[in-house]
Chain A
């Protein structure tokens, strides 16, 4: 919470996200219990972007699923932004578009009733999807489908945005372009956001707070806050920050 001096006014309703998971166990296929999360507790201030980083299979996606309400079977508490009254948007690892609906329909279907007729032109234009509105998802490349998935998330003006490795398995060029787009859309209306990634560079570029997790069962390894505004994060700044972080948390790079 040391970075409240940031100039951008927080959006997405009062209060940020507070996560407190005191234990999460999965029933394994052999009947034995697998402990996925030991103790994960962190906060994201309203209108801030946080990132979860940790080794494969350490329970990052599980944490996101608990926050999304897809897995109610856990010990602990959650406090969602806007006291749970706001909407939550998710960008999943796979785009998860409805193949039988066009790009525009996919985005519009997510809109709340009272917003159904909203003008989506600016959003589609920002994400470079204007030409694709009437296409079906099967006609899109993975990069384009990811953009549609981002458009859907931002279209509903969420109070909480959850991103689960949104740029995984894209070529670096496409991923970089999409990250820029994400910052652009997000900065226009900063929303409390939580992203899971394996990519520390990505985390450093996008987030205000990085939460490092341990191996399974997950615990918090450390929290790193970044106060430099997004606009001032150039290549040199990034390399310095990366080496600072790498020194403190060995093995994360």
Chain B
């Protein structure tokens, strides 16, 4: 795929060299234009134009309110993400390596995969009270089965040859885990994190809406009752922007670093 793209890029001349950034910008500008035109055509309170959203953003940003709520949501997302990835990966790796355990726990996994997020959230609040631990726990429990499934596939695909090599050269458990097993699971961690972050922040908003008195979800519920669509969009876009920044500044550099050993063409 990358090879083909390279060839296409090489065939065309100068414009194509600037292409990736420009295409992204054009694409976003196109989306903005469609939104703007639709807002003008509709001419309604329920579909505000971009300037109205910017104004709503500015209104809450100036008081610091927006950043406080963003930070609260981000804290919950981060906490739930760490818990879900740690617990989910550990369970997934064990199930992937142990056939009997997998056979026993597979029905549990299917059950948890299919319990609606809303049910888990409501039950967590009923059983553990309307507190922060219940909120973060409920978000994590929603993500854990996904991480288990992804990492289980990874653990099933582990290279036996390298495992034997590590055994012959007496690597020991810690060295084997760090140098042989975890690098093989890295693509699965990456996949689980990617899908995890987007899933977790969507669930976090529902958790906040149902049982917290701050966070983006709480604010959106508030503005829903006020019927303030501009503010709802402002909060949504602000949080999406935060997640994009995390993607570009944390996730992608980390991935580039951990896959630097791959031949260039496979990096895609």
Q: Chain A interface (Cβ within 8 Å of chain B)?
A: 68-70, 87-90, 92, 94, 96, 98-102, 109-110, 112, 136-139, 152, 156
Contact = CB atoms under 8 A, between A and B. Distances in A.
B175 interface: yes
A68 to B, nearest CB: 5
A37 B180 CA distance: 32
Contacts of A110: 169, 171
A99 B162 CA distance: 10
Given A70-B164, A109-B175, A101 B261 contact: yes
25 contacts: A69-B168, A87-B170, A88-B168, A89-B168, A89-B169, A90-B169, A92-B164, A92-B165, A96-B161, A96-B162, A96-B164, A98-B162, A98-B180, A99-B183, A100-B183, A100-B186, A101-B261, A102-B261, A109-B169, A109-B171, A110-B171, A138-B261, A138-B262, A138-B263, A139-B263
Given A70-B164, A92-B165, A94-B161, A100 B170 contact: no
Contact of B179 (A69, A98, A136, A156): A98
A7 B171 CA distance: 35
B17 interface: no
The 8 closest A-B pairs by CB, nearest first: A100-B183, A110-B169, A136-B261, A96-B165, A100-B261, A90-B168, A138-B263, A96-B161
Interface in B156-198: 161-162, 164-165, 167-171, 175, 179-180, 183, 186
Contact of B169 (A99, A139, A156): A156
Secondary structure dominating the interface of B: helix
Contacts of A96: 161-162, 164-165
Contacts of A138: 261-263
A92 B167 contact: no
Of the four ranges (under 10, 10 to 19, 20 to 34, 35 or more), the interface on chain B belongs to: 10 to 19
A70 B163 CA distance: 10
A92 B169 contact: no
Contact of B167 (A69, A109, A112): A69
Contacts of A89: 168-169
Given A94-B161, A96-B162, A98-B162, A70 B261 contact: no
A109 B67 CA distance: 47
Given A69-B168, A89-B168, A96-B161, 14 more contacts: A68-B164, A89-B169, A92-B161, A92-B165, A94-B161, A96-B164, A98-B180, A98-B183, A99-B183, A110-B169, A112-B170, A136-B261, A138-B261, A139-B263
B169 A152 contact: yes
A87 to B, nearest CB: 7
A143 B165 CA distance: 19
A151 to B, nearest CB: 13
B267 to A, nearest CB: 11
A70 B180 contact: no
A242 B259 CA distance: 49
Nearest to A87: B170
A136 B183 CA distance: 14
A110 to B, nearest CB: 4
A101 B179 contact: yes
Nearest to A88: B168
A10 to B, nearest CB: 23
Contacts of B258: 100
Contacts of A101: 179, 261
Contacts of B167: 69-70
Interface centre among A94, A101, A110 (most CB of B within 10 A): A110
A94 B164 CA distance: 12
